[in-house]
Amino acid sequence: MQLVQSISLMQRRARLWAQAGIGVGLVPTMGYLHEGHLSLVRRARRTLGTKGKVVVSIYVNPTQFSPTEDFSRYPRDLKRDMKLCRDAGVDAVFAPRDQEMYPNQPCGAFSTYVAEEMLSKGMEGSSRPTHFRGVTTVVAKLFNIVQPRVAVFGAKDFQQAAIVRRMVRDLNFPLKIIVAPTYREPDGLAMSSRNRYLRGDLRQQALALWHAIKRARAVTAQNSKPVPASRLKAQLKTMIESQPSARLDYVEFFEPETLNRSEKVTRGTHMALAVFVGKTRLIDNGRL
């Protein structure tokens, strides 16, 4: 397995693979890898077969963080990530440096952005206004650098996956997006690199997200009629905030394809939520 830090080297490799007819699968990550990421790697390998090349990108992308967010303290451990990737059968890790991804020189600073303007409006886009523009920009860059045939994203970032899929369709990237299921701890907490922020009792309180999804599932399963979203939101807010350090940022119900908000919740409606647990902001989602 190789560590590639230069954009031009990665592009040369991609061209050679294309000439050899070798399919490439990309798993874009911000590093500090956990089992969730490794499940995406396995999914890429299964799709490509043994002859394909699986590339994991590791890059904590500054443009998707706002100035008040955790960019500088986001956990990083490239050495550990490299070992995990090697053991998982990854062919190359692409880990570029900021100055190469967002150049200041020569001839003017970085100034081109990719933005999706419909699916990005609600939920995460409403709480984090510049977040998805940063995501679509860096993902477009990674696609142009690694030139994958497939790219695998996790369902935990459900809105992100929908936006990337829309970007691929709209801008005609010649690749397929695969969305792999959310990987959970045995007690249900969705795996996330940010879980490491949860010290002491906060780890237990973070289960509020998963419990809220299960509660919503139970409510829709019990009701033969659609449930008003506003009523269910109020119930879930009360339930979540019964945890002393938990504060609901949003909970939304929507159609999974279009992300159009649902005023009536039934089985098949999708639910997503964001909760501050202490200072840590966690997200989760699921089909009801």
| Residue 69 found at the interface with its own copies (CB under 8 A) | no
Out of 83, 89, 113, 231, name the contact with its own copies by CB under 8 A: 113
| Residue 103 found at the interface with its own copies (CB under 8 A) | yes
Residue entry with tokens 């963080």:
65
DSSP 190: B
Out of 50, 107, 186, 263, name the contact with its own copies by CB under 8 A: 107
Q: Which part of the chain contacts its own copies (CB under 8 A), choosing from 32-40, 61-69, 170-178, 194-202?
A: 170-178
Q: Which is nearer to its own copies, 137 or 245 (CB)?
A: 137
Task: Return d(Cα 236, Cα 213) in angstroms, integer.
Answer: 9
Q: Print burial letters for 61-89: b (CB count within 10 Å at least 16), e (below 16).
A: bebbbeeeeeeeebeeeeeebbebbeebe
Residue entry with tokens 């996790």:
154
Task: Return d(Cα 197, Cα 279) in angstroms, integer.
Answer: 9
| Residue 114 found at the interface with its own copies (CB under 8 A) | yes
Q: Which is nearer to its own copies, 113 or 276 (CB)?
A: 113
Q: At its nearest, how many Å lie between its own copies and the CB of residue 269?
A: 17
Out of 98, 170, 187, 201, name the contact with its own copies by CB under 8 A: 170
Task: Return d(Cα 170, Cα 162) in angstroms, integer.
Answer: 12
In sequence order, the β-bridge partners of residue 8 are none
Q: At its nearest, how many Å lie between its own copies and the CB of residue 231?
A: 28
Q: Which is nearer to its own copies, 83 or 121 (CB)?
A: 121
DSSP 226: P
Tokens of 208: 């509020």
- Between strands 227-228 and 92-94, the pairing is unpaired
Q: Is 37 annotated as catalytic?
A: yes
Annotated catalytic residue within 34, 37, 131, 211: 37
Q: Which is nearer to its own copies, 15 or 214 (CB)?
A: 15
| Residue 130 found at the interface with its own copies (CB under 8 A) | no
| Residue 111 found at the interface with its own copies (CB under 8 A) | yes
Q: At its nearest, how many Å lie between its own copies and the CB of residue 36?
A: 26
| Residue 200 found at the interface with its own copies (CB under 8 A) | no
CB-based burial of residue 20 (10 Å sphere; 0-12 exposed, 13-18 middle, 19+ buried)? Answer: exposed
Task: Return d(Cα 82, Cα 3) in angstroms, integer.
Answer: 8
Question: Cα separations (Å) of 138 from 4, 114, 132, 256?
Answer: 17, 8, 10, 24
Q: Which part of the chain contacts its own copies (CB under 8 A), choosing from 54-62, 134-142, 182-190, 267-275?
A: 134-142
Site pattern 2..41 for its own copies (x: CB under 8 A): -----x---x--xx--xxxx--------------------
Q: Are 27 and 117 in contact (CB under 8 A)?
A: no
Give the Cβ contact number of residue 256 at 10 Å.
15
Q: At its nearest, how many Å lie between its own copies and the CB of residue 224?
A: 29
Residues with catalytic function: 37
Q: Which residues bind its own copies (CB under 8 A)?
A: 7, 11, 14-15, 18-21, 103, 107-119, 136-137, 140-141, 144-145, 147, 166-167, 169-174, 257-258
